[in-house]
């Protein structure tokens, strides 16, 4: 008797877990409410120049370092 009840409960549990494959969250906006969105973007760039010594010397004379590393952060509100 206990084994039968346990088997039935186990079967029901497995069946109920497999019955829903996905959950769909729908976005809804309410009128007369202000919503705020904040987005932060961070960009890091590493540029290494491979060229002849003459061109690399010309870049160095113009103040361009090799490699050139730039970091930029922007915040949108």
pLDDT digits (tens, 9 = 90+) for 4-44: 887 787 777 766 665 566 777 888 888 998 888 899 999 99
Q: What is the pLDDT of residue 29?
A: 83
Domain locations in the chain as residue ranges: 38-77
In whole angstroms, give the CA distance from residue 64 to residue 9.
72
Q: What is the pLDDT of residue 24?
A: 76
Instruction: Specify whether the CB–CB gap between 75 and 39 falls below 8 A.
Output: yes
| b/e sequence 61-70, b meaning 16+ C-beta within 10 Å | eeeeeeeeee
Pull the structure tokens for residue 54. Answer: 């003459």
In whole angstroms, give the CA distance from residue 26 to residue 20.
17
pLDDT digits (tens, 9 = 90+) for 34-50: 888 899 999 999 999 99
């Amino acid at each position: 008797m206990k084994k039968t009840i346990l088997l039935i409960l186990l079967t029901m549990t497995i069946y109920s877990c497999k019955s829903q494959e996905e959950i769909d969250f729908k976005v809804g906006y309410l009128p007369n409410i202000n919503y705020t969105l904040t987005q932060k973007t961070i960009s890091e760039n590493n540029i290494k120049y491979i060229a002849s010594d003459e061109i690399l010397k010309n870049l160095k004379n113009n103040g361009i370092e090799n490699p050139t590393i730039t970091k930029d952060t922007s915040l949108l509100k």
